[in-house]
Structure 1
Amino acid sequence: MSENNGHDETNEEITPGSPEFEKMVFKLSQGVNAENLSVLNYNGNELHEIQEGVYTQPVYITDDFNLFFLVIKLIGEDWIVAFAHATIENNNEITDFSEALPTGVGLNMLGEKSPEDANNVLQYFNTLVEANRGEWRLIQ
């Protein structure tokens, strides 16, 4: 009776908000290109290339906390969607980004600030999974 000891049990244990979820990263099925750029838009915002192989777009911005998607090409052909905090000056000038945060870390942080927004971002990722545009991966 070891039906529940398989891969599915692991997925059930890793839920948003849990410490284990912070080890999750969202990997895109293919790299960012002109054909799929608009498909990756979130909440009316577009991805913008800030350097070769690095794209960003705002996810959540308040006076005391902000979070941006950071879509990064890793070694080889792997692209991941991570998060970063931005340094914003003069109310609208982004001058710097923090180091990339794993997808799970960023979502958990957002969940602490705004559970509703975190649920919206999670639904965005679920939509990408359903469209075969990405998948969740556990980082070791």
Structure 2
Amino acid sequence: MREVFLPMLQLPPEQRMPAFLRAQLREGVEPPSMLEGPPPPWMADRPAGVMAFVRAVSAADVPIERLKAFDRPVYYSLNSLSNPTWERKAGRLGELFPNMTVELYEGLSHLNSSHAAEPERVAAALRRLWNSEAEAG
């Protein structure tokens, strides 16, 4: 993560958001086009928020042993058009969490994610996960 996102902080401000969006996608996948007209007011804070996120994630010290101790079900939706780093994250998390389910969503990306594009499928997956936990508990 650090090697992907930290260099963005060195870019001129107007290049940071496009770079951040491209970093979410598999090579050759174009980010969605911007809507015509002026951006909504809430978008004004987005670049600063994204860069604050990048700094926070890059500085985070993740307590791996605590993650390994988590024995509850974990659901990870993986989008086929997302940057391959998300696949590697799924693999790494699968090594940490003993009860993890990874489900692939073809044709989706981190910018058009499963919960937005296929909410019924995600809801059904979460219900299965929760039901399996209830039956086991």
More helix per residue: 2
More strand per residue: 1
TM-score (norm 2): 0.25
